[in-house]
Amino acid sequence: MLMTTNMIRDINHTLAQDILRILPAPETPIPGPRDLQIEPMHGDGSSRKFYRVATGKTNYVAIVAPPDTLSRTNENDSYYYIGNHLRKRGIPVPEIYAYNREKGIIILEDLGDLHLQSIIDFQNTYNKSKAWYVNILEKLAKMNTGGARGFDSSWCFDTAVYDREFIYQRELIYFKNEFLSRYLGLTIEESDLENEFKHLAELVSEIPNNFLMHRDFQSRNIMIKEGKFYFIDFQGARFGPPTYDIASFLIDPYVGVPQHLQVELLEGYFDEIRIQFKASREEFINWYWLTALCRNLQILAAFVFLSQVKKKPFFAQFIKPALRHLCHTLDHVESHKFKRLRFIVTEQARSLLES
């Protein structure tokens, strides 16, 4: 249900005025904030607030996130600068119309409510679903390679490079704290997995990292509007390896891409970007499984954090699918590596997945 600003529910009159001040000039002027129709939108795991703003002529989306700092690059800055950069590079992202840095308000193109997850059905529309993935991966390759050209690391609010320390703390230790400790209730000292985690972080940090990675490239971050797709939630983009985003996309538990298709799509992606680096297909596949392991650990942690700490139960249903992916991923990493991690995951997965 649309609401007007005088209803004062989730939005107040002051915010409506702030939005009105930076809206693109409509063909017919809007007399005042009470003439806007503003509807709160669902924002998945984000703490930012999203609103659909209807002027009578055009719909926009307003992202509202009062900044935690103005003295350095914040998340809103990253969204604004990275979004404009990607659009200039021919990457399908929403057009950004206005940005009020002090208020933390960004006005952008309304892409509707349909995301890729909603239209993918590999059981009943396999060929159509596959076609979406093939086309999206072509643009992903362009973003990972062409998007890196001219990318300014000062736009990044949350580290400019996917490096060893980031991997260790923000993905591997995150997994231990959220999934192993909080979700499974295991008492595991950091030292118990420290050597394996540091080794994994080291191996991944040695992969060429001069590519632009989205870092959360999955089906709920791809919107569908009028038969075209658009990438969203790109504010965490940074320099990183060429295999992280494709891994994130293929092991996405929201969708469940069939294993044989994952192999086919990965081969196609390799052919798209192989000219950008000197590596054999075998080396590239090894990079893929290492980054897939990091991503898999991260998403398990995120699903627990979002469902239990942020109290967003929607995400709990994807924990088991992500755990199945993790078991599969570990099967593709050299068996002598990560023995302790493999043992813990295998033991816990057996009972959890059978329950």
| Amino acid at position 200, single letter | L
Is residue 216 located within the same domain as residue 338? yes
Give 170-200 pLDDT, tens digit per residue.
Answer: 999 999 999 999 999 999 887 889 999 999 9
Residues 240 and 212 in one domain: yes
Q: What is the pLDDT of residue 10?
A: 47
Judge if 129 and 69 occupy the same domain: no
Same domain, 120 and 97: no
Banded pLDDT at 28 (limits 50, 70, 90): low
Assess whether pLDDT exceeds 60 at residue 334. yes
Q: Is the pLDDT of residue 2 over 80?
A: no
Q: Residues 76, 143: one domain?
A: no
Please identify, among 87, 109, 131, the residue that sits at the C-terminal boundary of a domain.
109
pLDDT band at 11; cut points 50, 70, 90 = low
The CATH number for 337's domain is: 3.90.1200.10
Pairing mode, if any, of strands 105-109 and 238-240?
A: unpaired
What CATH number has the domain bearing residue 52? Answer: 3.30.200.20
Q: Residues 17, 39: one domain?
A: yes
Pick the last residue of a domain from 88, 109, 130: 109
End-of-domain residue from the set 75, 109, 143: 109
pLDDT for res 1: 43
pLDDT in tens, 278-314: 889 999 999 999 999 999 999 999 999 999 999 999 9
Q: In this structure, are 131 and 54 located in the same domain?
A: no
Structural domain count, the chain: 2
Domain span at residue 245?
Answer: 116-354
Helix locations, the chain, DSSP H: 13-22, 75-88, 116-119, 126-146, 164-167, 174-175, 190-205, 244-250, 259-273, 281-304, 319-331, 339-354
Same domain, 38 and 14: yes
User: Looking at the structure, do residues 234 and 180 belong to the same domain, yes or no?
Assistant: yes
Q: What is the mean pLDDT of residues 12-29?
A: 76
Same domain, 121 and 84: no
Position of tokens 């970007």? 273
Q: Quick one: 316 and 339 in the same domain?
A: yes
**Domain match, 217 and 336 both:** yes
Per-residue model confidence (pLDDT) at position 5: 41
